Each structure stands twice: as C-alpha cells, then as structure tokens.
Amino acid sequence: MSHPVHPAVVHFPVACWTLATLADGVGLLWAPPWLWQLAFALTVLGCAFGLVAALAGFWELLKLPAEHPAGSTAHAHMGLALTSWCLYAGSALLRLHDRQPLPPDTLALALSGAGLLALLATGWLGGRLVYGYGVGVTPRKG
C-alpha cells in the first residue's frame, strides 16, 4: 500500500485551527467564558495534530525526486505550514497564565487570524501539488 499519510492527517489541524479562529471571531461579539476555552483547546489540539501532519508531510517530501518540477511549490507549502503552526502556537502561549487559559488579547487574536491566512495559502499550495503536479497520486493503469 502506497497511500501517503499526510493527506489523511492534515484535516485534523486544519479543522481545529479553523474552528478556533471562528470561535475567536464569534468571541469578539459574544464572549461566554467557555468559548475562549474552546478556542484555546482547539488551538492546542491543532498544534498537536499539526506536528503529526508536518512529520508526515516531511516524510512525503523526502520521497519527491530532487529535480521534480513541484519541488519549489512543495517547499513553499512546507514553509507556510510551519509558519501557520508557529502563529497558532504563539497564540496559544499568549493565552496561558499559570497554566490556565485566559481570554485572548489583541496579539493572540491577531496571531490566530494570521495563522488562518497562512493556513489557507498552505492549503491552496497543497491542492496545487496534488491537482497541478500530481504529487502523491498513483497513475491509473489502463
């Protein structure tokens, strides 16, 4: 079986971080304490799942031939994914005080928003790798 692992696990950090940023946005208008705690938990879960997705993606990148035309796109995808991880991790760390989650300040919200923008660009490049270059796709035998 040669199915790549990265596409199977990448949905978890994407979902967690997207929902966390959505909870942050809703929290600006309606701020019950549980909503900030949910956003914090989703951000942390997204970071944990993001490490798994990054390791799987790096493993897949190692399988790409050095002169493959998708190489620069793959490296840009990886760089944006790691940037997104760092932005969300920074947002999570800014929400902690004495190991207790706090409502996010302006910087934590800005990092979460910037993380989502980087995540969207990362996903677009991931789609380009698969649909444009056929990375990770097994050719049909016909």
Residues 79-108 pLDDT 10s: 999 999 999 999 999 999 998 999 999 999
Report residue 116 as tokens.
């989502």
pLDDT digits (tens, 9 = 90+) for 17-29: 999 999 999 999 9
Rounded average pLDDT over 54-82: 96
What pLDDT does 1 receive? 44
Question: With contact defined as beta carbons under 8 Å apart, do 85 and 50 qualify?
Answer: yes
What pLDDT does 41 receive? 97
Maximum Cα–Cα distance across the chain? 61
* Percent of the chain surpassing pLDDT 90: 87
Report residue 45 as tokens.
């879960």
Ranges of each domain in the chain: 6-132
Question: Of how many residues is the chain composed?
Answer: 142
Q: Which residue, among 83, 72, 90, has the nearest Cα to 119 in the 3D structure?
A: 83
Rounded average pLDDT over 59-80: 95
Rounded average pLDDT over 6-24: 97
Report residue 4's pLDDT band, with 50, 70 and 90 as the boundaries: confident
Evaluate if residue 7 carries a pLDDT over 80.
Answer: yes
Report residue 118 as tokens.
């980087």
